[in-house]
Amino acid sequence: MRIGRRRKSKGWLKVCSKSLVFEPHDAFEPLLKFAFRDCTKIADLSRGLRTVPELFGVTCERVYEMRANNVIAPYNIIKVWGVGRPPAEAQRPS
């Protein structure tokens, strides 16, 4: 699983009615929730790859982190933006 910072981890991907939830094998890594309302693109990335037949990418504006370090606490919202698209704070007129 990679989010902006290009980190990788193994775990389970659960498809829910309103979101995708990634539950890592390591209990100290946070659960990641990708709400479908925040997703701008879900694409098949496995075309032409023989070694990874079920690879896809998810592009979202926000990702919700839960249970970081296996501690129940309020969600941490990570705002993500694409290449060439500045964050909302940078778009405000000065």
Specify the residue for token string 């925040």.
38
Q: Where are the domains of the chain?
A: 11-84
Can you give the pLDDT of all 94 residues of the chain as single tens digits?
A: 545 555 678 899 999 999 999 999 998 899 999 999 999 888 887 777 666 667 788 888 899 999 888 888 898 998 876 544 555 554 444 4
Strands (E) across the chain are located at: 11-15, 19-24, 31-35, 39-44, 56-60, 62-66, 76-79
b/e 9-29 (16+ beta carbons within 10 angstroms → b): eeeeeeeeeebbbbbbeeeeb
Q: What is the pLDDT of residue 92?
A: 46
In the three-class reduction of DSSP (H, G, I as helix; E, B as strand; rest coil), residue 20 is classed as: strand
pTM above 0.85, yes or no: no
